[in-house]
Each structure stands twice: as structure tokens, then as C-alpha cells.
Amino acid sequence: MSNSVISVIYRFLEEYRTKTSNKLKVVDAYLFYILLTGALQFLYCLLVGTFPFNSFLAGFISCVGAFILGVCLRIQINPDNKGDFLSISQERAFADFLLAHTVLHLVVINFIG
Amino acid sequence: GLEPGSNCVFCLVLLTVALGAQALTPSHHLSLSDVERLKGLLSQPFTDLASAYYSIVGLSKLGASVADENMPVSNETRDILLAAVSEDSTVTQIFRAVSALSSLGLPLASQEVVAALIARIAKEDNVLAITTALQTATRLSQQAELGGILEEIEDLAARLDDLGGVYLQFEEGLEATALFVTAAYTLSDHADTEPPLKEDQVIQLANSVFSKKSWDSRSEAFSVACAAAALSSNRFHVPVIVSTQGPATVSHSQPILHLLVTDILSNPLASASVLVESAQAVASKSVVLSQAPFSLRDGIFELNFMASQPASGYYQFAVVVTGDSRLVANQVELKVKVSTEVAITNMDLSVVDKDQSIGTKTSRVDYPFKAKGSFTADSHQNFAMTFQLVDVNTGVELTPHQTFVRFHNQKTGQEVVFVAEPDGKNLYKFELDTAERKSEFDSMSGTYVLHLIVGDATLENPILWNVADVVLKFLDEEAPAAIQSKTLYMPKPDIQHLFREPEKKPPTVVSNTFTALVLSPFLLLLILWFKLGANISNFSLSPSSVLFHVGHACMLGLMYVYWTHLNMFQTLKYLAIIGSLTFLAGNRMLAQKAVKRIAAEQSSRLAKYRSLR
């Protein structure tokens, strides 16, 4: 059983390394960074307590929001999904990404206190 | 509107309590002192015609005599007066002319006056004008066709404001209401037609007019005097006032209930006969008296209620005044109190041992004497008291509202009061368990003076009886501490305000460590990007590109400044400016990039196509 799981994971990693374009890997690295940051914030909150709660929420939501926006960007610039996003060019996706991030940052900074 | 003074509200309350009316009965009338005051105001010397008119007519209505004034009349005066009677004069002018003509005995054409009045009423549709028109009609011949004017009474009555079902008055005020009452009844008498006012309305009008007991001006006093005269002597509706002379209480010493039956001017009604329809005990609801007549003596109606031998308590009387078909509000409800005197009998004091091994020592004490020896009770004993309360006159047992047993320590000033309660056979018992009650006495042993207090609203002789001295001995006697009441009014201990404790924060080391930890993935990101080969070699130095990046950096900087200095509104303002610049530049830049990308794709596709071929 564990054998098959490990082999699946190995296979997945191989496919990822070869099949994914560099551009997508860059975005994936960014997503991984966001994930780590969010996880570390959450760990801190678990260890030390939620004071000040609004700051914790602001930071955590920022990570979550950025991750979601990053995923959206990745989906939209993936050439395999071109059929689903005919009207949205890559540049347009990036512009949307920036605009959404501006709003997210405004809200996060407002809430961070 | 009309605001009765606090005086009048008090009268209203008193009268309401005394009369306890369920049907509407007058709550205000002019007592004899009120009438005197009214006369006084009207008797003041007058210097002008209006004042003369008010005083002379007002006083004559109240029955006071007035000096006679004679005036010679010339033909011109008569012609002027007759000319005033027309559609073009105001109602007041017509009224004055008609009054002058009729007072001077000069002839006038009643039908013309009626026509002029009806025409004027249509033009001057206010309360005072119509009331004046009514008054004018009273001076006309009885043969004149007054139907049109009589209808105005009903129309005017519809304009009255009902206040709480108690008062009925014009919003123009007391004078207007009083003048209306006067005019309506004077005209009704003159035309021999009953005014279209219901009994309740008459009472409510009377309440409004007579609720004010001090008058601002002569004209107001005049209007009240006229209304009082009209309501006490017209041919149709005479409100009757029924009240007791003195408090509504009878007892053995005063067995007769006296009633004053008067009209609105406090004149006794000579031809009335007063009957008690029923007298019902409030507590037991049993009817004690029914259809009993009052006898008239010296203008006061009397009834010997004690002859029916009522038990002490409150009784509800339903009284009816008959004898005159004009009487209004002649059914009155009165609350009468029958009081009596109480006697204390069989007062037995004893000290009982708790385990009842030693026999009780009972002493009898007679009111108003004090027991000869003192009684001693310690924690093993109870002090007991039994007695009976009886009606002196009938021997019936009584249960008054207040039966208190009071212990008073003369040395410390302590006072402890208990209630003595009757058992099923109306025998009063009081028992003091020394051990159980020591907290009330603060465990202070000593001699306590015992008083018995008996009182009730229906008792004429409340009792405060020093019965005996009782020596109480408590266990674990404390040192005579200052009595509670002394410390009650001293300043209390200060309360320090506890500010909200700041939340517990983790030590700075921990938070600093985690700050570094949270920032570290950024380093990882840069490393990953480097490994992937991400670079900025494609960076074109076009102005829009530079502007875009600068603008974007400014926006991020603005976020930081927002966090530290600004509020949302300022931030949005700056964001709008920087954002629009960045957007325009970014749009340009991305468009250029898109063009380049599409060109690159096309050329690569072309190359692929060519290579395939």
C-alpha cells in the first residue's frame, strides 16, 4: 500500500518537473512561499495565543487571499486552459491579479490595526 | 385648552373618592366661597362700558343687587340702533343694538333680526359669533321664527372637544364654553324648546366651566357667573350636586349621615327628595339597607344609618335624588365609612418553658394598666401573649389592619416590632422565641418595654398600650456595638477603579523569532526563482513600463503610510491618483508586451510550419 503511494508521488513529481512550463513553476514557487508564510503565522497563533486577534486575522487572510489570487492567475495563464478563457489574455489575467491585490492590500492594512 | 390648577385636581380627586361615581356626576361646581369670590371680582368698580355691562349683568345673575342706571334716549340714537340691525353689521354689533333696544323698551322687528343673524352666521362661522347670535335671539319676541337659530345649538355642540370623557369645552377656552352654555339655555328657555344636549354633555360642560376657581378677568368671571345662573335655574337641565357634610363617616356617637343636595351654585334644592336605593357592604357585599328615604331638616338631608346596626367597615351607597324632572346626574354613588371603638379583652401574658416541663405562669393585664411585675425570658423560654379585640358597642370580634407588638430597649434605643396575628377563632397570639429572634435584638440582653399598637381606618380609638416590661436574656452577648444606623450615614470605603488589565503578551524574544521566521520564506522564494531561472532580462525600458513599476511601488509605499499615518479616506484619495496613473501605464505596458508575445508566437508557429514542410 505505502509502496503504491510513494510511487504515485514520485510519478507526480516527475511529471511535474518535465511537463510544467517554467512560467507556471515560477508562479508555483510564489504560491508555495505564500503557503509557508500563512502556515507559520497560524503556528505562531496556536503557540502564543490570539492577541492581537485583528492583526492575526489580517495577516492570515492576506496570505489566504494572495494564495487564491495566485491560483486564479495560474489557472488563467496555463496554456492548457486556453479554451476556457478565450476572452482573457495573459496580460489581462495579470492586470486582474494586480487590481485584486490592490483591493486585498487595502482591506488587510485597514484591518491590521 | 383649559388646565385645571393643582388645587382643582385635588378637589377632583377628593370628590371622585367621595362620590365614587360610575355614572357621570359633576366633579366641579361653585361652592359658596367660590360664589363669593366671583361676586367680589364682579363688584370691583368699573370705568368703561364693557366692564359696566359685565358687572351689572353678572351680579344680577348671581342674585346680588346692583345700582339702577337710567339713560335718556333720543330719536337719533334709536335710528342708529335700528340701522345697526342688518346683514352688514357684525354679529356683535347686532347683539349690542338689539340688547340696547330691548333694554330701553324700544320696538324692533324680530323677523328682520333673525334674517340678519342667519346671514351673518353663514359669514362669521366662529364659536363666539354664533354664541352671540344665540344671545341676540333671546331678546326677540317669542312669536318670531327661531327654528333656524335653535339648530345652531346642536351644530355648536358638535364642535366641543371631549377631554378624557370628563370635560367638554371649546378650544377657544373657558369664556367661550361658558358663554355657549348661557346662550343655549337662555334661548331654550325663551323658545320653550329642550336644548339638544345629552345629560353627559351637560355634566361635562359644567366640569369644564367650573373647574377654574380663580378668574383672570372680569369678562371671564362674568361668563362663569352667567353659566352658573343658567345651569341652576333653566327649565330643562339642572345638574344636582350631592355631597356629604363633613367626612362620610358614621359611628355610635354620630349615627346620622348628613347629605348636602344643591345645584351648581351651591343653593340647596328645596323640592328634592333623597332616597338610598341600596347600601352594600364593600367587604361582604351584603345589602344592609334598601329604599330608605332621607329626611330633610334645615336644608340638610339626614339618615340614621346606625339604626340598621351595620358592622364597622365601608359601605357603598347608591343615592337617588328625585322631585324635579329637570334634575341631571341625580344618581350618585357614595362611599360611607362606619367606624367603631375597639376594646382589648383577655390580655394574658406568660413565660413558657420550651420543653414545657415547668408550668406556665400566666398573668392577666387589664387595659390601660401595666402588668405589675416584669417578665423574664432567657434562651430556654418563650414569651407569649394572647388577647382579643372586640367592638365596644356590639361585642363582635374585630381584626384591625394594624396589631403590632413593640419592644423598646430604653438604654440602647433599640426598637423591634412584631406583628400579632389572629387565629381562626379571632384570638390574637404572639410568641417570642428568645433564641430564634436574637438577631433582631442584636443579642442585647436587658429590659425591654412592651407596647401593643392597635390601629385601623375604621377605629376611632387607636391604641398604644404599655403592657409590661420584659427582661430578655440572650446567650453570647456581644459588647454593646454601635447601632447599625450610626454607621449607615458615614462615608463608605472608597472604591478604586480597576482599569482593564492589558492582555498578556508573549515575551519579545518569541515574537521576534517568529517575525524572522515568517519573513524567511521570502528568502526561499528568491532562491527558488533563481533556481528556476526567472529573470528580468526581458525588461524593456519604455516609459510606460518604468512609470508602471514606479507607480506600483508607490502604491505599496502608500499601503505602508496608510498603516502608520493615514485614514481610509485620505488613502483612497491618494490611491485614486496613483492608481489611475499606474493603471494607464500598466495598460500600455501590457499591451506592448501582448503585441510582442503574439508576434513571437506567430513567428515560432511560422518557423515550425516551415520546418515541417
**Residue that wins the pLDDT comparison between B344 and A80:** B344
How far lies B139's CA from each of B99, B153, B389, in Å? Answer: 7, 16, 70
In a domain, B455, yes or no: yes
Contacts of B559 in chain A (CB under 8 A): 105-106, 109
Same domain, B268 and B361: no
CA-nearest residue to B513 within chain A is A44
pLDDT of B202-213, one tens digit each?
999 999 999 998
The rounded Cα B457 to chain-centroid distance in angstroms is 25
Q: What is the mean pLDDT of residues B303-329?
A: 87
Q: B395 in contact with A at a CB cutoff of 8 Å?
A: no
Banded pLDDT at B11 (limits 50, 70, 90): very low
Q: What is the ipTM of this complex?
A: 0.85
Looking only at the bridges linking them, the beta strands covering B342-353 and B256-262 are: unpaired
pLDDT (0 to 100) of residue B437: 82
Q: A112 in contact with B at a CB cutoff of 8 Å?
A: yes
pLDDT (0 to 100) of residue B496: 84
Same domain, B262 and B156: no
Minimal CA separation from B612 to chain A, in Å: 22
Minimal CA separation from B547 to chain A, in Å: 15
Banded pLDDT at B16 (limits 50, 70, 90): very low
pLDDT of B170-207, one tens digit each?
998 899 999 999 999 999 988 888 889 888 899 999 99
Q: At B277, is the secondary structure helix, strand, or coil?
A: strand
Same domain, B260 and B188: no
Judge: B518–A30 Cβ closer than 8 Å, yes or no.
no
In a domain, B501, yes or no: no
pLDDT profile of chain A (113 residues), mean per 10: 85 86 88 92 86 88 95 88 80 90 92 83
> Which secondary-structure segment (H or E) carries B202?
helix B199-210
Closest CA to B379 of B433, B460, B457: B433
Q: What is the mean pLDDT of residues B403-422?
A: 89
pLDDT (0 to 100) of residue B15: 47
Range of lowest pLDDT (B16-30, B88-102, B352-366, B443-457): B16-30
Same domain, B49 and B108: yes
pLDDT of B530 > 90? The answer is no
**Which residue of B503, B510, B517 is in closest CB contact with A40?**
B517
Closest CA to B429 of B343, B341, B347, B342: B347
Share of chain B above pLDDT 70, in %: 91
pLDDT (0 to 100) of residue A35: 94
Q: Which of B293, B314, B338 is the last residue of a domain?
A: B338
Nearby residues of B440 by Cβ (< 8 Å), 6 or more positions away: B416
What is the average pLDDT value for chain B, to the nearest integer?
Answer: 83
pLDDT (0 to 100) of residue A71: 94
pLDDT (0 to 100) of residue B149: 85
Banded pLDDT at B370 (limits 50, 70, 90): confident
Residues 545-564 of B with CB under 8 A from A: 552, 555-556, 559, 562-563
Minimal CA separation from A32 to chain B, in Å: 8
Nearby residues of B94 by Cβ (< 8 Å), 6 or more positions away: B84, B85, B86, B113, B116, B117, B120, B133, B136
Q: Where are the beta strands (DSSP E) in B434-525?
A: 446-455, 463-472
In a domain, B11, yes or no: no
pLDDT of B442-486, one tens digit each?
778 888 999 999 999 988 889 999 998 988 888 766 555 545 555
Same domain, B256 and B215: no
Number of domains in chain B: 4
Same domain, B460 and B558: no
Q: B514 in contact with A at a CB cutoff of 8 Å?
A: yes
Q: What is the mean pLDDT of residues B545-559?
A: 90
HSE (CB half, 13 Å, CA atoms) of A33?
Answer: 19
- Pairs of CB atoms within 8 A across A/B: 74
In a domain, B440, yes or no: yes
Q: Which domain holds residue B456?
A: 342-472
Closest CA to B441 of B407, B411, B410, B465: B407
- Identify the CATH number of the domain in which residue B334 sits: 2.60.40
The Cα–Cα gap between B167 and B8 comes to 13
Residue B477 grid cell = 452577648
Same domain, B333 and B350: no
The Cα–Cα gap between A93 and A24 comes to 14
Reduced DSSP (H G I as helix, E B as strand, rest coil) percent helix, strand, coil of chain A, to 5: 90, 0, 10
Same domain, B265 and B393: no
Same domain, B95 and B169: yes
Nearest 5°: CA angle at B73, between B68 and B74?
Answer: 165
CA-nearest residue to B561 within chain A is A109
Same domain, B101 and B209: yes
pLDDT of B72-84, one tens digit each?
556 776 777 777 7
Residue B368 grid cell = 390601660
pLDDT (0 to 100) of residue B435: 80
Q: A82 in contact with B at a CB cutoff of 8 Å?
A: no
CA-nearest residue to A94 within chain B is B590
pLDDT of B133-173, one tens digit each?
888 888 888 778 888 888 888 888 899 999 998 999 999 88
Q: At A21, is the secondary structure helix, strand, or coil?
A: coil
Instruction: Point out which residues pair with B304 in neighbouring strands.
Output: B256
In a domain, B88, yes or no: yes
In a domain, B307, yes or no: yes
pLDDT of B329 > 50? The answer is yes
pLDDT (0 to 100) of residue B480: 53
Same domain, B356 and B396: yes
**Would you say B332 and B242 are in contact if contact means Cβ atoms under 8 Å apart?**
yes
pLDDT (0 to 100) of residue B379: 81
Q: Which of B416, B440, B472 is the last residue of a domain?
A: B472
Same domain, B458 and B570: no
